[in-house]
Chain A
Amino acid sequence: MIDNPELVAVVSHAAGGPGSTYDPADSQATASWHRLVAAELALIGVPEDIGGAGGDIDDLLAVASAIGYCGASFPLLETQVGTWLAAELGEPVDSRITTVLLPVESYWIGRWVDQAGRVFAITEFDDGRCQVTTVAAGAGKTVSDQCGEPVTVTTTLEETTSWRPVSRAAVDHVRHTLARGYLAQCYGALAAAVTLTLRYASTREQFGRSIDRFQRVQDLLCACVGETLVVEALLVGTDGGGAPSRPGLAHAAAAARSAVGAAFHAVHQVHGAIGFTTEYPLHHYSLRAIAWCDAAVLLLESHGSQA
């Protein structure tokens, strides 16, 4: 079990309603961020004795799936992981928004870079060495992904400190934790989308009965539920429970993309036109599920190919 109703209630209260998205120019969004920080959620995974909120990967994933279930976009996961890295480097542990630019193929990629108060960038060498620096925001290209979260891609960096060594283990932890965190957010968002879909299908009537009585709609509901279970199982399994004698990560990435795509199709197909509008909340969850799945897959595939 990953999700936690009490935690969902705390996160939901702090983050605001579905679709809440962090924006420093929006007073309500910044108030939500401060509530998340006040609830000590921004420093989960950072040891308590150095100023963090403590907790382990399971706690971090529980928070991630809760924020996904709320359909909200905040730099919570990035700050948790970025601050963990800061602690590893002996840097100050505080609750400013922190994020990490990770190397993927020939560029760096990161989320919430322009909103962050601290940005780390990592470089990996062919001989296994890794280095880290802090960089200024603003370099590269920032676009909004499918759910409106800012993603920065850059081939150049403006370092604000010197490059210094960082352990391979720390870099793997950052990449792996971010990937699993995005997958947990995706899972939470899917669970919310499917909950909405099951409820809609049981109340929406056509031809004199609720649409969940029609076999073809039942097919779609089975797909919704089944694919969400697959994503949950992949999340549980990225801790090493791969297929017999097969590694977990690279395969989890490929399977996640397929499962989330199928679920995305099914939830929208059940809802019909109303689900396709901004007047109905489905898109807050469905688009986030796809966006976070893509973010996880990008990191998992590059990690898996190096395994």
Chain B
Amino acid sequence: MSGAFRRLLDAVDTIPAEVAALGEQARRFVDQQLSRGAFTPGCDSWHVGFDPRFSRALAERGWIGMTFPTRYGGGGRSAVARLAIVEQLIAAGTPLAAHWVGDRQVGASLLRHGTEAQRARLLPEIAAGRSFFALGMSEPDAGSDLASVRTKAARDGRHWRLTGTKVWSSHAHRCDYIVVLGRTEPRAESKHVGLTQFIVPCHAPGVTTRPIRQIGGVEHFNEVHFDGVRLTDDDVLGTVGAGWTQVTAELAYERSGPERFMSTYVLLSAADEAARRAGDEPARRAVATLFGRISALRILAYTVASQIDRGEVPMTLASIVKDMGTTLEWSSVHACSELAGRADIDSSLATLYRQAVALSPSFTLRGGTNEVLRTVIARGLSGD
């Protein structure tokens, strides 16, 4: 058996015992919030639902920054423990977008690459649900080929001047900071060298955002322009010139979570309920297939989380989970179409279905298209 394939199979394990109790806590919280009308369950709410009040309620329970060290206001918990809470929140369609990037990605980056001053300043604010982050990565001419970004940061005495344009920056118009990948050294033989990450205040002079409306009417994407934005060395995240390595190291964290296969969970739950009431066995079987697949991906996601907790970087398995999970999300929308069509037009099922259809093209595009993911996976399989 090929070494890489065997390592993947060998890694798969049962869900840790601690998960059940944490999940129960999260479900009780969700039920309480629902009964208070604190949110309306929606598809993809972890991504599109920006609700600072809900984020602060989570922060009060210690559910943001769970994996940050306690000295930075975090919970000092494992990636597995975070997953146990987050999967329940996502399954229930709760609004997590405000704190999501800071909690899932930027916090980990600060811990790996940030200065002590940056960690002390920003991590407690993230964990308290007071500071929100966006990402400035893709550009009009640099999507899948991210290393070809043209946004530049040039030295200006003791400062930097940032100039360029980023696109698809979710919620940048409402966030406090945007983490920007820019070129600080001329493009050399390898385009991956000479890139640097900056933590840019969204309201700094020279930063302007323009909303980009998605199909379906949602506006969380932005085009963000940087017109000679003045930054200091204190705004550099990590090492000048090492931005590419830093960015790719984050990918295992953001590729395998339940947000990559449970964005449409509330829709599937509504469809299952409708099929049950109608006695529609073929529809129930179709939905059961998807729930079963979610069960399997859930186990793989916990496997990745456990590996991260052990200090490993499970890039191949994380990419597999994202590829299969987002494909499942896409197909789940269309699996519900007939049931939704027969439901009342203003029913929960029909409403969620319409919402999900408009969101569905993004599932297999965001965070790395599935086509790119399969290249990563294939490369990982060939490594013996």
The distance in angstroms between the C-alpha atoms of A234 and B320, with both chains bound, is 16
Q: Determine whether B294 belongs to the interface, using a CB cutoff of 8 Å to chain A.
A: yes
Tell me, yes or no, whether B381 is within 8 Å of chain A by CB: yes
Q: A194-B5, A195-B5 are in contact. Are A236 and B292 (CB under 8 A)?
A: no
Report chain B residues within 8 Å CB of A253.
288, 292
Q: Which residues of A contact B295 (CB under 8 A)?
A: 233-234, 237, 241-243, 246, 248, 251-252, 255
Interface membership of B375, Cβ < 8 A? yes
Answer whether residue A226 sits at the interface, using C-beta atoms and an 8 A cutoff: yes
* A1 on interface, CB distance cutoff 8 Å: yes
Q: Is the CB of A237 within 8 A of B299?
A: yes
Q: Does B285 count as interface, using CB distance less than 8 angstroms?
A: yes
Query: Could you tell me the distance between the alpha carbons of A194 and B381 in the complex, rounded to whole angstroms?
Result: 11
Question: Could you tell me which residues of chain A, from 239 to 279, have a CB within 8 Å of some CB in chain B?
Answer: 239, 241-246, 248, 250-259
Chain A 207-219: CB-based contact to B (< 8 A → 1; otherwise 0): 0000010010011
A234-B295, A242-B295, A244-B91 given; A222·B1 CB < 8 A: no
On whether the beta carbons of B9 and A226 are closer than 8 Å, the reply is no
Q: Is the CB of A251 within 8 A of B377?
A: no
With contact pairs A226-B323, A256-B292 given, residues A212 and B378 touching in the complex (Cβ less than 8 Å):
yes
Partner of A195, one of B2, B290, B300, B371: B2
Cβ B374 vs Cβ A225 within 8 A: no
Please count the residue pairs between chain A and chain B whose beta carbons lie under 8 angstroms apart in the complex: 144
Is B10 a contact of A218 with CB atoms below 8 Å? no
CB pair A239–B14 under 8 Å, yes or no, is yes
CA of A223 to CA of B88, assembled, Å:
28
B247 within 8 A of A: no
Asked if A230 is at the interface of the complex by the 8 Å CB criterion, the answer is yes
Instruction: Find the A residue at minimum CB distance from B292.
Output: A255
User: In whole Å, how far is A187's beta carbon from the nearest beta carbon of chain B?
Assistant: 9
Chain A binding surface, main DSSP class: helix
Q: B190 to nearest A CB, angstroms?
A: 21
The interface residues of chain B lying within 8 Å CB-to-CB of A231 are 296
User: With an 8 A cutoff between CB atoms, is A31 at the interface?
Assistant: no
B271, chain A: closest CB distance, angstroms: 13
Enumerate chain A residues within 8 angstroms of B285, measured Cβ to Cβ: 254
In the complex, A191 Cα to B1 Cα: how many Å? 8
Interface presence of A229 (CB below 8 A): yes
The CA-CA distance from A237 to B291 in the complex, in Å, is: 12
Q: CA of A244 to CA of B291 in the docked complex: distance in angstroms?
A: 9
- Name the A residues within 8 Å of B11 (CB-CB): 1
Q: With an 8 A cutoff between CB atoms, is B87 at the interface?
A: yes
Task: Decide: B294 and A243 in contact? CB cutoff 8 A.
Answer: yes
Residues of A within 8 A of B154 (CB): none
Roughly how many angstroms separate A199 CA and B2 CA in the complex, as a whole number? Answer: 8
Q: Is B245 an interface residue (CB 8 A)?
A: no
- The interface residues of chain B lying within 8 Å CB-to-CB of A257 are 289
> In the bound complex, what is the Cα–Cα distance between A141 and B374 (angstroms)?
46
A254 touches B299 (CB 8 A): no
- Bitwise, A173-204 to B at CB < 8 A (1) or not (0) is 00000000000000000010011001100100
0 or 1 for each of B178-192: is its CB under 8 Å from A? (1 = yes):
000000000000000
Q: B378: shortest Cβ distance to chain A, in Å?
A: 4
Q: Do A225 and B320 have beta carbons less than 8 Å apart?
A: yes
Known: A226-B323, A229-B320, A230-B324. A246 touches B291 (CB 8 A): yes
A241 and B299 contacting across the interface, CB-CB below 8 Å: yes
Instruction: Assess whether B297 is interfacial by the CB under 8 Å rule.
Output: yes
Q: What is the CA–CA distance of A194 and B111 in the complex, to the nearest angstrom?
A: 39
List of B residues within 8 angstroms of A244 by Cβ: 23, 27, 87-88, 91, 265, 298
Partner of B288 from the list A1, A191, A250 (CB cut-off 8 Å) is A250
Distance from B5 Cβ to chain A, minimum over Cβ atoms (Å): 6
| B27 and chain A: residue at smallest CB distance | A245
Binary contact track B76-116/A, C-beta < 8 Å → 1, others 0: 00000000000110010000000000000000000000000
- Indicate if the CB atoms of B293 and A230 lie closer than 8 Å: yes
Which residues of B in the span 1-38 have a Cβ within 8 Å of any Cβ on A? Answer: 1-2, 5, 8-15, 23, 27
In the assembled complex, how far is the CB of residue A236 from the closest CB belonging to chain B, in whole angstroms?
Answer: 5
Q: A198 vs B383: C-alpha distance in the bound complex, in angstroms? A: 12
Tell whether B382 is near chain A: CB-to-CB under 8 Å: yes
A253 to B293, CA, bound (A): 10
| Measured CA separation A255–B294 after assembly (Å) | 9
New contact pairs (9) apart from A195-B2, A222-B323, A225-B320, CB-CB < 8 Å: A1-B11, A2-B12, A194-B5, A198-B381, A222-B377, A225-B8, A229-B9, A229-B317, A255-B289
- 17 example contacts (A-B, Cβ-Cβ < 8 A) are as follows A2-B9, A2-B12, A212-B382, A215-B371, A222-B378, A226-B377, A229-B12, A229-B296, A230-B293, A232-B12, A233-B298, A236-B14, A242-B291, A243-B291, A251-B288, A251-B295, A252-B292
